[in-house]
Amino acid sequence: LDYLWENLRYHNWWCYRYYLCELLSFGNVIGQMFLMNRFFDGAFLTFGIDVVTFMESDQEERIDPMIFIFPRMTKCTFYKFGVSGEVERHDAVCILPLNVVNEKIYVFLWFWFLILGVLTSGVIVYRIIIIMSPRMRVYLLRLRFRLIRREAIDAIVRRSKMGDWFLFYMLGENIDAIIFRDVMHELAARLGHSKPELQEA
């Protein structure tokens, strides 16, 4: 409690570094998708959509995008010594069984990147709303920690900054609910809010 009181309004840098890591993870997902798209010559960004379209199209009109990127057969040219000792060129059809596995891996990766991108972007929008709206911070604390009086939460959020709110939220997630309630009520009392009578646990 003494630490929270003495360092109130000094936790923004810690909080924003945490948010920066979340932003970097979103950039990492987007960057990997574009790098993979470049590696596949522009065919990766729509790869998952093309596969779903292929699965739903008529048998006669199907064009398999997986075979386009990961061919299962290809023309091979190799050289070997002939009977006379001269190097002879041979053309053949080679089977690439590993590409059957590769195509499944990259279909999974496409959907995995899509899910990660959507979830991470949702988290970023959520963080922006929290940063911009003190009312949302109050609402989230009330929703998550119902043992704390509304007046205490209002007093604390009104007198603290974004970093303090984030620290309070993380503390509440990781310590006993009764202890956290007592800490928040005592902090609210130090901030000028009338201290409630503590209930028996």
pLDDT score of 20: 93
Query: Residue 195's CB: how many other CB atoms inside 10 A?
Result: 12
State whether residue 166 is helix, strand or coil. helix
Which tokens in the block code for residue 140?
Answer: 């989230």
Whether the pTM exceeds 0.85: the reply is no
At 21-47, the pLDDT tens digits run: 999 999 999 999 999 999 888 888 888
The phi, psi pair for 73, rounded to 5°, reads -135, 145
pLDDT score of 151: 83
State whether residue 75 is helix, strand or coil. strand
Q: Considering the chain, what percentage of its residues have pLDDT values greater than 90? A: 21
pLDDT score of 184: 82
Any bridge partners for residue 90, and if so which? 78
CA distance 156 to 191: 7
At 162-198, the pLDDT tens digits run: 888 888 888 888 888 888 888 888 878 877 755 544 4
Pick the residue with more confidence: 193 or 131?
A: 131
pLDDT score of 166: 87
The pLDDT mean for the chain works out to: 82
